[in-house]
Amino acid sequence: MRENKNALITGASRGLGAVLAAFLAGQGHDLVITARGANELKAVRTRLAGFGGAVTAIEGDMTDPAHRAALIDAAARLGGLDILINNASDLGATPLPPLAAYPLDILRRLYEVNLIAPLALAQIALPLLQKRNGLIVNVSSDAAKGGYPGWGGYGSTKAALDLVTLTLANEADGYAAVSVDPGDMRTVMHQAAFPDDDISDRPLPEVTLPFWAWLFGQNRSAINGGRYGAQSEKWQPVREVTDETV
C-alpha cells in the first residue's frame, strides 16, 4: 500500500501558509508546519488535527540551520517528502523605502529570510524529495517583475528566488521545482505594506485554492521550471528547462 503523502510548509501559522496546510491536510497529507509565532502555529496545528493525519508543528526561525535540520528530521520520520512549500517571507523595511535609501543591514536580513533560507531548506530536503519525485514550491510575488517604487528590496529577493527555482528545475534529478505568484491577497503582510490603506477589497488566500488543486494534480515533469500566477485566468504546464549553456 502506498505510504501517506507528506508535505512541509513554512510560514504556516496564518495567511496563505495556513490555507495550504488545511488544503493538504484535507487531501490526506501528513504535515510538518513551521512559523515563528508559537501561539498562532499551535492554533493551526489544533485545527489541522481534525483532519485525522499526522501534524508536526515546530516553531522557529528559518534562517537558523538547526531549525531547518529539525524540520527535515521531522519530515524524515514521516518516511519521505512529496511537497516542500517555501512560503515564509519577510517584507523588510517599513514604511517601504526607495531602493536608493534602503537600509543595507535590513536588506541583508531580507535576503537571508527570503532567498538563502528557502534554498538551504531545499538543499537538505532533496534526498527526501527524490525518494518520491517530490515538488518544491517557492512562493514568489509580482514584485519580482514589477520594479514598483518602494518594493525594490522585497522584490529583488523574490526575483532572485525565481532564478534559483528555475535553476533547481534545470538541475532536477528526481524532483521538480516551480515558482508561484499568489497575487494580491488580504493578509497581514499585505496590510503592513499599506498600513494606511483599506485592503478589504483584496481576496482572502482561499481564492487561490483552485490553482493549488490543479498544480498538485499535475505531472511533475510537465510543470517543472514553471512560474505560475495563482489568480491567473488559465494555468498551463510550462517547461522552461533547457540544456543550453551560455
Residue 207 pLDDT greater than 50, yes or no: yes
pLDDT digits (tens, 9 = 90+) for 104-150: 999 999 999 999 999 999 999 999 999 999 999 999 999 999 999 99
Round to whole Å and give the CA distance between 203 and 133: 33
Q: Please tell me which residue in 158, 175, 179, 228 is annotated as part of the active site.
A: 158
Tell me what pLDDT residue 239 has: 52
> Under 8 Å CB-to-CB from 207, ≥6 apart: which residues?
183, 185, 231
Round to whole Å and give the CA distance between 34 and 125: 15
Phi (first) and psi of residue 180, to 5 degrees: -135, 125
Phi (first) and psi of residue 93, to 5 degrees: -65, 135
Q: Please tell me which residue in 140, 141, 156, 179 is annotated as part of the active site.
A: 140
| The amino acid at 107 | L
* pLDDT > 70 in the chain, percent: 92
Q: Please tell me which residue in 102, 111, 154, 175 is annotated as part of the active site.
A: 154
> Under 8 Å CB-to-CB from 191, ≥6 apart: which residues?
197, 199
pLDDT digits (tens, 9 = 90+) for 59-92: 999 999 999 999 999 999 999 999 999 999 999 9
pTM over 0.85: yes
Phi (first) and psi of residue 36, to 5 degrees: -85, -25
pLDDT digits (tens, 9 = 90+) for 157-181: 999 999 999 999 999 999 999 999 9
Q: Cell match 515563528: residue? A: 36
Grid cell at residue 118? 528557502
Grid cell at residue 98? 526607495
- Please name each of the domains of the chain with its CATH number: 6-229 (3.40.50.720)
Tell me what pLDDT residue 203 has: 81
Round to whole Å and give the CA distance between 56 and 78: 10
- Using the Cα atoms of residue 164, residue 167, residue 169 and residue 174 in order, give the sign of their dihedral: negative
Tell me what pLDDT residue 1 has: 38
Q: Is 148 tagged catalytic?
A: no
**Residue 208 gets which letter from DSSP?**
G
